[in-house]
Structure 1
Amino acid sequence: MPPPRSGPGPLPRNWPTNSPYIVTPVYSKSLSSSHDSSLRTRPSDAFEIPANSPRGPCQLVRVTPIANPSHPANGQSGLFATKDLKPGTFILQYLGEIHASPTPSFSTQNSNADPHAHSDYDLSLDREHGIGIDAAKMGNEARFTNDYRGIAEKPNAEFREIWDGRKKERGMAVCVLGEGKSGKGKGIRKGEEILVSYGRGFWGARRADDENTADV
């Protein structure tokens, strides 16, 4: 049985059978009218994605299973460049379920209030309004972008807020680090793994989860 997907067309090579492949964002029922208004308001510093960006498998990347015992994602997959990518290049949008997080007071009263709290694929899109994009259950190739730690000295790409002019909507994307970033204008060579920094908050939360599990 083929993997489920959203929309017609082929699936990326090596796409997992247990995860739906989507070509546009999916919207959670947790979103309110105020969340929708925030999504439709373009930030002044958002990068506008190219109008001709294809909906579907991205030709700039390849999902590749990793079979290297020294790699932190050994036994899983990573995202690799299929051609040389220049500094600042838009690679692909990060797709998943756009959702709203419960208010802090409600989350404190109910530990199960936020189903995305422990997701390894949840990106913050709007902290003020508590909007995130979670690719844990569905997504596109961008969900396979690994953190650089334990693989390289520094990241060669970044998660960047974007504006989709076709949908008039905010989003997140994976982009090659620009010349002003730590990549120093090197770009990404064909065959290299695309690596970002998940940030200290991500790893701090994972360490806390590990400690809590050890105490059980």
Structure 2
Amino acid sequence: MTKFMLISRLINKTNASLSALKSRPNDAYNIPLNSPKGPCSLVRIMPVTSPTHPACGQSGLFAARDLKPGTFILQYIGEIHAPSPDGSLTPDPHANSDYDLSLDREQGIGIDAQRKGNEARFINDYRGIAEKPNAEFKEVWDEEQKERGMGVWVLGEGKSGKGKGVKKGEEILVSYGRGFWGARKSGDLD
């Protein structure tokens, strides 16, 4: 392979990742335009002190006020990453991160808040804490940045009316998904 062909492949793969990041998916939710930039006034990071809590001794994200079903809480901010465009087999620095969310599986684009991020990185999984999650991750579109992302929303009421909102002082909990826990049980992410 010539040097020109290799560079062309690198550029095409990088351009495909950038294009995917800058293309609005049909099913993405809009980040509300009035969402403040900077620290989120809807939440507080607090230490988890209950000895029965799986994250005891760490921190969690708690509602600073009552949040109604379907409320946008905040965007999940972190380092946007994609596979190495050269296809090299160098170790993936995000492979063992507990803060890495998939944004586009096909392109391999993720958001990792392990080294940098916002309050959303303190959201815990509901397992061992509550019967079910009270919030969820949804893909979002940032109209200002013209970029895809991930947001955290209070579970909606839904057809069954099960989304009750989040009360002030209550921990905001999501489902990390079976893939997250499956990888840890199989020892893939030691």
2:145 equivalent to 1:167: yes
| 1:98 partnered with 2:80 | yes
2: distance between equivalents of 1:33 and 1:113? 22
TM-score by length of 2: 0.87
Give, as a single letter, the amino acid of the residue that structure 1 aligns with 2:18.
D
Question: How far, CA to CA, are the matches of 1:183 and 1:32 in structure 2?
Answer: 43
The residue aligned with 1:89 is 71
- Structure 2 residues without counterparts, runs of 5 or longer: 1-12
**TM-score in terms of structure 1 length:** 0.77
Aligned to 2:5: none
Matches within 5 A, 1:199-214: 199-209=177-187
1:69 to 51, 56, 62: 51
Are the counterparts in 2 of residues 154 and 182 from structure 1 also a CA contact under 8 Å?
A: no
- Misfit runs of 4+, over 4 Å: none
Q: What is the Cα deviation at residue 101 of structure 1?
A: 2.8
Corresponding residue number in structure 1 for 2:106: 128
Q: Which residue of 1 aligns with 2:6?
A: none
Deviation at 1:181, TM superposition (A): 7.7
1:36 aligns with 2:18: yes
The one-letter code of the counterpart of 2:151 is A
- Distance, in Å, in 1 between the alignment partners of 2:112 and 2:48 is 23
Contact 1:87–1:186 under 8 Å retained in 2 = yes
- 1:32-66 Cα deviation digits (max 9, x unpaired): 22111111110111100111211111000000011
Q: Does 1 or 2 have the higher relative contact order (CA < 8 Å, sep 6+)?
A: 2
- The count of residues paired between Structure 1 and Structure 2 equals 177
Structure 1 unaligned blocks of 5 or more: 1-30
Q: Which amino acid is 2:134 matched to?
A: N
Q: Alpha carbons of 1:183 and 1:67: their partners in 2 closer, same or farther (altered >3 Å)?
A: farther
Q: 2:28 aligns with which of 46, 53, 73?
A: 46
Moved more, 120-129 or 180-189: 180-189
Would the aligned equivalents of 1:62 and 1:81 in 2 still touch at CA under 8 Å?
A: yes
What is the Cα-based RMSD across aligned positions, in Å? Answer: 2.0
Sequence identity of aligned pairs in percent? 71
Q: Report if the CA contact (8 A) 2:134-2:163 is conserved.
A: no
- 1:178 is matched with which residue: 152, 156, 171? 156
Report what 1:114 is aligned to: 92
Q: Distance in 1 between matches of 2:111 and 2:55?
A: 22
Bigger-Rg structure (1/2): 2
Secondary structure of the structure 2 residue equivalent to 1:209? coil
